[in-house]
Amino acid sequence: MRALLDQESPLASELRLPALPSKLGLAREYVHEVAAEFGFDADHSYALAFAVNEAVTNAIRHGRPDAHGHIHLSVRADGEVLTVAVHDCGTFATSALGASQTGESGRGFALMARMMDAVQLCVSPGSTTVRLSKALP
Amino acid sequence: MSFFYITDEAPVGDRYGEDIAVLSAGGEIDYAASPQLRERLADCISAGGRRLVLDLSAVTFIDSTALGALVGAVVRLHEAGGGALAVVCADENRRVLRIFEIAGVESLIALHSSREEALLELAMAG
């Protein structure tokens, strides 16, 4: 399921994840693994895994998987910053960004933003990518 | 693989009131598990529970869909004529506490560090 893009660097890797709620634990495990490899401590790894879990949940709930039923996760290390991109083939509706106090959904992005140093959302027709970045402590 | 459970604790009605229900959850509450949490809380309310205690001390992961299930229970209690949801989370469980801290749900859900504290507070409110 996982393909290392660069055998020299395990931190340039990607994961094609079946778009199923039961696979969210796998996404979190993957992030913990690459975050530890990058040198994050337990709290930083947890923050990144939390944010990626939110992005993958959004992709499963509101996005669209690729033709094989997958959501794509890719990891990039850039100096002291680790970035995980979560990509799906849906067209994210920005109306889903806000939550009312008593709403059951819509908190994901606010929580991601609190946990990360940067959250970038790139939307075009049939393509939604969330990039979650965090620097070494 | 992720793991999740939710159980009913022994009734505490004799001491605190018949409409009090205590639930305890453990493991990871993500989008795969939160529907069970939502359903269990809704069942409690349907069965007459109005003051609910949910102990999350043994939970290792909580996401926005779990928070949504908790907020949904508060809304259902309100629609049922009133009630309260008290969440218990031990002080040592910093990861779960941190999510509550940043989620901005403190006006809806009271957080307590022990079950006894939550029960006393709810008993006084009843």
% of residues, chain A, pLDDT over 90: 80
Residues in B closer than 8 angstroms to A107, CB to CB, are: 64, 67-68, 103
Q: How far is A108 from chain B (nearest CA, A)?
A: 6
% of residues, chain B, pLDDT over 90: 82
What is the band of A9 on the pLDDT scale with cuts at 50, 70, 90? low
ipTM metric: 0.92
Q: Which residue of A has its CA nearest to B73?
A: A104
What Å distances lie between residue A56 and A70, A112, B43, B107, CA to CA? 11, 11, 29, 28
Q: Tell me the C-alpha distance between B41 and B60, whole Å.
A: 19
What mean pLDDT do residues A80-103 have? 88
Q: Tell me the C-alpha distance between B11 and A137, whole Å.
A: 46
For domain B4-125, the CATH architecture is 2-Layer Sandwich (3.30)
Residues 6+ apart with CB under 8 A from A33: none
What is the band of A4 on the pLDDT scale with cuts at 50, 70, 90? very low
pLDDT at residue A44 tops 80:
yes
**pLDDT number for residue B97:** 96
pLDDT at residue A96 tops 70:
no
* Residue A134 and residue A73 in contact, taking contact as beta carbons nearer than 8 Å: no
Radius of gyration of chain A (CA): 14
Q: Tell me the C-alpha distance between A135 and A81, whole Å.
A: 4
Q: Which residue of A has its CA nearest to B94?
A: A43
What mean pLDDT do residues B19-43 have? 96
pLDDT at residue A100 tops 50:
yes
Size of interface A-B (CB pairs under 8 A): 63
- pLDDT tens for A117-132 read 999 999 999 999 999 9
CB atoms A105 and B65 under 8 Å? yes
CATH code, domain carrying A112: 3.30.565.10
* pTM of the complete model: 0.92
Q: Please give the residue range of the domain that contains residue A53.
A: 2-135
- pLDDT tens for B82-99 read 999 999 999 999 999 999
What is the band of B18 on the pLDDT scale with cuts at 50, 70, 90? confident
Considering CB atoms only, which of A24, A50, A107 is closest to B32?
Answer: A24
Q: Tell me the C-alpha distance between A27 and B107, whole Å.
A: 32
Residues in A closer than 8 angstroms to B85, CB to CB, are: none
Radius of gyration of chain B (CA): 13
CB atoms B63 and A104 under 8 Å? no
Give the distance, in angstroms, between the CA of residue B93 and the centroid of all CA atoms in the same chain: 15
How many folded domains does chain A comprise? Answer: 1
Q: How far is B108 from chain A (nearest CA, A)?
A: 8
pLDDT at residue B33 tops 90:
yes
Tokens (6 digits) for B83: 């009630």
The DSSP string of B14-45 is HHH-TTEEEEEEEEEESTTTHHHHHHHHHHHH
**pLDDT number for residue B14:** 67
Nearest to B122, CA basis, from B88, B95, B89, B79: B88
**pLDDT number for residue B2:** 78
Give the distance, in angstroms, between the CA of residue A63 and the centroid of all CA atoms in the same chain: 13
**pLDDT number for residue A1:** 39
**pLDDT number for residue A6:** 46
Residues in A closer than 8 angstroms to B75, CB to CB, are: 102, 104
What is the band of B13 on the pLDDT scale with cuts at 50, 70, 90? low
Tokens (6 digits) for A115: 């946990």
What is the band of B10 on the pLDDT scale with cuts at 50, 70, 90? confident
**pLDDT number for residue A3:** 44
